């Protein structure tokens, strides 16, 4: 049960909102594809680690992608919003039944728990 994972000096965790930039090769061309969403699971050990990212697409349809961490096609991972402090479980599969407004409560718990910096 991993809660955090490292990829090229970027540490992200379950509950974080991330942007994954992936290199896709089609025939002779290469292009970058961005997938942005919530990390709902990290699984595996060592080289076999993978993480699942979920986002809500058109017509409120949930889209999930599983990315192998050691994949050479992943160019970079950028953290948009931290959410680990508000997460109470290792796998956030319960998010599949929640609305985006209810998911935002995870982030409101983060700000309630973090001490204010002055």
The overall pTM is greater than 0.75: yes
| Separation of alpha carbons 62 and 73, rounded Å | 23
- Domain 4-113 matching CATH 2.30.30.790: the answer reads yes
User: For 2-51, what is each residue's pLDDT tens digit?
Assistant: 677 778 888 888 888 899 999 998 888 999 999 998 898 889 888 889 99
Q: How many CB atoms lie within 10 A of CB 103?
A: 17
Where along the chain do its domains lie? 4-113
Segment 57-114, tens digit of pLDDT? 888 888 899 999 888 899 989 998 887 676 777 888 888 888 878 777 766 765 555 5
Please count the residues of the chain.
Answer: 118
């Amino acid at each position: 049960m991993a809660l955090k994972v490292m990829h090229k000096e970027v540490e992200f965790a379950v509950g974080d909102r991330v942007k994954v930039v992936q290199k896709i090769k089609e025939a002779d061309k290469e292009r970058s594809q961005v997938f942005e969403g919530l990390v709902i699971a990290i699984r595996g050990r060592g080289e076999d680690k993978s993480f699942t990212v979920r986002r809500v697409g058109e017509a409120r349809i949930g889209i999930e992608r599983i990315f192998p961490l050691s994949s050479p096609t992943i160019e970079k991972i950028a953290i948009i919003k931290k959410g680990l402090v508000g997460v109470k479980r290792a796998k956030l599969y319960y998010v599949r039944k929640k609305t985006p407004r209810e998911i935002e409560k995870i982030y409101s718990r983060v700000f309630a728990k973090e001490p204010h910096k002055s």
